Amino acid sequence: MPKKTIQRITQELKFTAGSLLEFIVLKMLSSKTYSVDELFAELKSSGFQTPKGSIYPLMSRLRTSGLVRSGAEESDTGSFLRTYDLTEKGRQHLASLRSDWKRLNALIAGLGC
Please check the confidence at residue 77 and state whether its pLDDT lies above 80.
yes
Tell me the whole-structure pTM to 2 decimals.
0.78
Bigger pLDDT: 106 vs 63: 63
Mean pLDDT of 27-32: 96
Closest CA to 40 of 28, 4, 5: 28
The mean pLDDT of 22-41, rounded to a whole number, is 94
Among 13-17, 50-54, 83-87, 106-110, name the one with the lowest average pLDDT. Answer: 13-17
Q: What is the pLDDT of residue 101?
A: 82
Q: Check pLDDT > 60 for residue 4.
A: no
pLDDT over threshold 70, residue 48? yes
Going by pLDDT thresholds of 50, 70 and 90, the confidence category of residue 91 is: very high
Residue 5 has pLDDT above 60, yes or no: no
List residues bridging with 82 in a β-sheet: 72
Q: What are the backbone angles phi and psi of residue 101, rounded to the nearest 5°?
A: -60, -45
Three-state SS string over the chain comes to CCHHHHHHHHHHCCCCHHHHHHHHHHHHHCCCCEEHHHHHHHHHHCCCCCCHHHHHHHHHHHHHCCCEEEEEEECCCCCEEEEEEECHHHHHHHHHHHHHHHHHHHHHHHCCC
Cα R_g (the chain), whole angstroms: 16
Which residues, listed in sequence order, are joined to residue 74 by a DSSP beta bridge? 80
> Could you give the domains of the chain?
3-110 (1.10.10.10)
